[in-house]
């Protein structure tokens, strides 16, 4: 009772790709719809105008410099990491309309720059800009 298998038969087995294509299209629609609802988080950066005189802006603004070794300098004086807020509060009390300008060195870390920006916001100064040298 053995079955004979005809080796020379021309019967070809085909794979039906229709269900797989349906799944691919459904996944494509899902990813397109969900991608529109994703919001990227970032920091707003205000760059100074090219026509603005930098030296005049330095006299009117609170300039915080960050060195390549992440040392913080305000008015050519080294400031401790924890005392940034107090120094900005003091300078803001002297000139309330003065914005804070952060000048990070290209080799400084982002953590220190964000700390300075947070300290300025905690001190009540919401006009914070980043300047490149």
Tell me: the pLDDT tens digits for 76-98? Answer: 899 998 999 999 999 999 998 99
Residue 27 in domain: no
Decide if 129 contacts 99 (C-beta within 8 A): yes
Give the chain's domain count: 1
Tell me: the pLDDT tens digits for 35-92? Answer: 766 666 776 666 655 555 555 555 588 999 999 999 999 998 999 989 999 999 999 9
pTM of this prediction?
Answer: 0.57
Residue 79 in domain: yes
Decide if 131 contacts 101 (C-beta within 8 A): yes
Residue 38 in domain: no
CATH number, domain with residue 72: 3.30.420.270
Residue 18 in domain: no
Classify the C-alpha dihedral 57-125-47-116 as positive or negative. positive
Residue 5 in domain: no
The H or E element spanning position 103 is strand 100-104
Residue 47 in domain: no
Decide if 53 contacts 116 (C-beta within 8 A): no
What is the domain range of residue 81?
A: 54-130
Residue 29 in domain: no
Q: Which residues of 42-76 are buried (b: 16+ CB within 10 A; e: fewer)?
A: eeeeeebeeeeeeeebeeebbbbbbeeebebebee
């Amino acid at each position: 009772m053995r079955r004979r298998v005809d080796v020379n038969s021309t019967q070809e087995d085909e794979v039906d790709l229709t269900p797989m294509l349906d799944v691919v299209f459904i996944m494509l629609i899902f990813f397109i719809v969900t991608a529109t609802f994703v919001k990227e988080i970032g920091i707003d950066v205000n760059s100074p105008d090219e026509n603005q005189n930098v030296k005049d802006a330095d006299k009117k603004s609170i300039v915080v410099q960050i060195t390549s070794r992440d040392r913080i300098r305000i008015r050519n004086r080294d400031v401790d990491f924890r005392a940034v807020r107090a120094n900005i509060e003091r300078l803001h009390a002297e000139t309330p309309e003065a914005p804070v300008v952060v000048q990070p060195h290209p080799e400084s870390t982002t953590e220190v720059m964000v700390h300075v920006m947070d300290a300025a916001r905690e001190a009540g100064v919401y006009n914070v800009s980043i300047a490149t040298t």
